[in-house]
Every structure is written in C-alpha cells, then in structure tokens.
Chains A and B, each alone.
Chain A
C-alpha cells in the first residue's frame, strides 16, 4: 500500500468512527432528560451501541495510522478540522422530533452503508460492519417505527415531525456525495461508492414517510457538504471542546 493509499483508508475509517462518536455524544446529551423513562433507556442503548462502534473504528484507524495512537488519542486529541463525521450527526439535538428525524435519516443510511461494507475486502472493516449492522438494524427499526407513529400521531406530533424532516433535509445529501477518499475505497474494494446508496435510501425514506403521512422534502434541493472533509458547522467545535476538556486540561494523565 502506498502512503496516499494508507492515508485515504485511514480517512475512510475515521469517517465512520467520528460519525458514530459524534452522534453517540449527541444522544448521550438526552440521558436523564428523555420524554419518558422507557424512551430515555432506549435512546441510551442506541448511544451505547454507537459509542461501541466508534471505539472499534477508532482503534482500527489507529492501527492503520501506525503512529501509536489509540481510540482515546484519536477521539480526544484532534480538533474539529481533523474530524470527518457527517454534518447531519453534529447538528444540535433541538427538540425530540429533531433528534428522532436525525436518527432516522442516519439509521437508514447507516444500515445501507454497513451492508455494503460486509463485502469489504478489508477483513477488519467487514468484521466491524457485521457486528454494527446487528445493532443498527434495530436502531433503524426503532427510528422508523417512531417516525411512523409520531408522523401519523396527533396534529401536534405530525407538525413537529414534518418541521424536523424539512429542517434536517439539507444535511442528508452529504451521505451520498463521493470524493477522492470514496473513489479510492470503491476502487480498492474496501469501501463503496456513496452515490449508489442514494436511490435505495430515498425509496426507504419515502416509504416510511408515506406511512407516517409526512411529506418527503424535495430530493433535488440544495445540500450542505464538507463534514467528511473536515469542514464543519459551528456546533462541532463546542461539542469537541466539551468532550475533550479533561484530556486537554491534563495532558498525559491516565484515567
């Protein structure tokens, strides 16, 4: 493997790891403040699953990098320009409808992406994907179910879900936009072309929204991008500032 190949594969692994880590962080902000005790616990389970996945990805990224950085070094000692998570998952929680729609958009993509990674020629990536997919299949079932129920619920819940669906829509396009890292992943056979997930994702989201009596936003609308390349919104730096405070304040300490 040439040096650029290795760097691209590393970036690819970090995208999955950072995305899982940042979303897990957002979900954990709800802990103790959910709309019902049962829901509080269910969401914490999803947060724990994603955190576990992030640890697998970051540990593997550290191995690919071969600079002796472990999961914590990568999670706590990179700044926002070095994080490659999707913009969608760094969006602040908003109200619970916002958080559920964000989860649904993401889960629908995540399940498709992991399924593609099962065929990765990188055994480690395929193994992480296989384990994660079991968890994510449940996440998707749960978030789809909640979208249907709340969309087709009360007038108020319908309105809140529609507003969230519209507001977050512009952050979904990035999941399907490829760049040199994606092209390399597809060409080398360890990853896939993200554009190929767009049609099945749209089909699925449309189907769930139909059942939820929600209106699908315009698929051809303007979409934000940049997260995968390390250009984020303003929120991520705050998120990392909070997450990393102890590691940064006490360099070299063991916890």
Chain B
C-alpha cells in the first residue's frame, strides 16, 4: 500500500492483560475505540511506527504526483487535462495533510523529507513504474487510487486522531480519482481498436504491480500483529488485496478488458476470486531501489527541493525583515 512493510520494533505482541501502568491504560483506550491524541501518553514504539507509516504514506503521495504529472502536458483534450491537473494537485494536498499529521508526533516535515531524499525512507513501490501511454493514467486512477481507497477507508477509523482526520479528508477527495481513471479507460475501450489495445496494454503492465501494492502476506508478521493491536492497521494485506480483486474483476469485464492472469477464476465455495501467484522477487527488487523509475523519481524530488531552497529561504528572510520592522515601529 502507500505504506509498505512498516517496522514496529515488536518482537512479540503482548496482550492487554500482560501490560502494566500507562501502557495498559493506553491499550485499554485503543481497545475501547477511544482516539489517541498528540499530547496523550503513548509507547515510544507506537509513536515511531506511526511516524514511519504516516511519512511513508506522505512520501507516496508526493512521489505519486510524478508518474501522472508526466502526462498533464500531453492530455488529449482540454477537459481531461483539467481533470488530471486537479487530480495530481490533490495528491500534493494529501502529502501535505499527511506530513502535518506526522508533525503532531514531534518530527518536522523537513526532517521527514530529508529521510526520503537520503533514500532512508520508503514510499510505495507502485510509483516506480513508468507511465508509457495515456491509458496508464486511466489504469493508475482505476487500480492504484482504487486500491488506495480500499486501504484508506478503514484508516479513517485508526487509533491516532490526527491520522484518522487526515484520512477522512483524503478519502473525501479520493472519490473522484478512481472514477476519472475508469471514465478515461471507458472512453478508450469505446474508441478505436488502437485505443482499446492501449487500454489492454496498460492493464497488462499495471495489474500485478497494483496487487503488489498491498504488500506480501502478513498473516504471520509480528509487525502487522502489533500494528493491528495498536489500531493503526485494520485489515490484513491479503484481505485488502482480495477485496481489490473481487471488486475489480467485474469492472474489467465491463470495459471488455482481460486481466492478465490465467489463474483468475471465481471460487464459489470461498465467495471470492482465486488469482495467480504474485512475483514477490519483483516487489522486493523495486523496494530495494531497482524498479524502472526509482532513480528518476527520487532525483526529481531531490532536485525540486534543492532548486526551491532559495525560494523558501527568501520568503523566510522577508518575513524576518517584516517582523523586525514591526518590532522597530512598535
């Protein structure tokens, strides 16, 4: 997902009855569904895990601007151009809301961005794939934003107040992202054979990376168990991925597109679609920095930040001068 493989530092998850003192009171609040707020006492592990998770999520939003931003200047109609520009702008907003939520935990945005730029912080694997055709913009909206919604709606109920509130805002804006992607693909699938082939090609390339977004199975992961106990992870990776597959298959059928998985079929007994094995080697390779676009994505972010330094500094200098003038006049 936008936050993948989040480390919690836990060796073993202790049940509420094993906890003592403040930690027990804290866990009882979470168990009772009471939100944790910035000034409340919290275990250091909870704080650190949240910083990791929220900042990864934020990094994903702003790095995620780049693959789609790649097509703004080439959008094929002015209406599509306006929609895409507004959509990519929204993603900047999501990054901003999420960094703000992370900042309530006592880290600065600049420090988080420095971690990203130093290659120490992760962002979602999905944004390291290239957008090669216009149909990729549709595939991202439909599959990537679609997956993000599945993941983010439960997070609106997560235990940390500022994160939950940021997610509420994000989800409200997110609703048009998936639809514009699907609408774009609908136009292609109702268009010329070449356009339809473009859509099929995009689905072929984005399907498996989209499934990988949810991360490897975490059924046996102590990190996931800990995050679940802390109320910052509400469903397993597999459950979310299954939900995505189940809702997407009929949508693909409506488009007349074929999902590139020969093993995909409805399982009457489970009431879900079965699907083929995911190439986790590819996923870990991308996470390690070997995806097709890792280097460019990070380099673009670093350069934007460095190029903007004079701007941020210049505005600071002016604000300081104004404050000094105000003080002198008073």
Contact = CB atoms under 8 A, between A and B. Distances in A.
Given A31-B65, A51-B82, A152 B318 contact: yes
A37 B92 contact: yes
A40 B78 contact: no
Of A25, A31, A149, most buried by chain B (CB within 10 Å of CB) is A31
Contacts of A35: 304-305, 307-309, 311-312
B191 A96 contact: no
Contact of B85 (A28, A34, A54, A246): A28
A112 B54 CA distance: 46
Contacts of A156: 310, 313-314
A41 B92 contact: yes
Contacts of B319: 149
A246 B81 contact: no
Given A72-B78, A255-B77, A149 B191 contact: no
B204 interface: no
A38 B86 CA distance: 14
A157 interface: yes
Contacts of A245: 74
B195 A250 contact: yes
A117 to B, nearest CB: 21
Given A28-B85, A55-B78, A246-B134, A37 B313 contact: no
Contacts of A41: 89, 92-93, 96
Interface residues of B, number: 51
Interface string A232-245: 00000000001101
B210 interface: no
Nearest to A161: B314
Interface string A128-161: 0000000000000000000011101110111010
Contacts of B75: 246
Contacts of B169: none
Interface stretch (A42-50, A171-179, A186-194): A42-50
A164 B187 CA distance: 43
Contacts of B314: 149-150, 153-154, 156-158, 160
B311 A255 contact: no
Interface string B55-92: 00000001001100100111111111110011011001
A interface residue count range (under 10 / 10 to 19 / 20 to 34 / 35 or more): 35 or more
B96 A31 contact: no
B99 A246 contact: no
B66 A152 contact: no
B315 interface: yes
Contacts of B309: 35
Contacts of B93: 41
Interface of B: 62, 65-66, 69, 72-82, 85-86, 88-89, 92-93, 95-96, 99, 134, 184, 187-188, 190-192, 194-195, 300, 303-305, 307-319, 321
18 contacts: A31-B72, A31-B88, A34-B92, A35-B312, A38-B96, A40-B89, A44-B89, A48-B85, A75-B78, A76-B76, A150-B314, A150-B318, A153-B314, A153-B315, A157-B315, A242-B73, A254-B191, A255-B80
Q: Which 10 A-B pairs have the closest CB atoms?
A: A35-B308, A157-B314, A153-B314, A32-B65, A246-B76, A44-B89, A154-B317, A35-B311, A255-B76, A32-B69
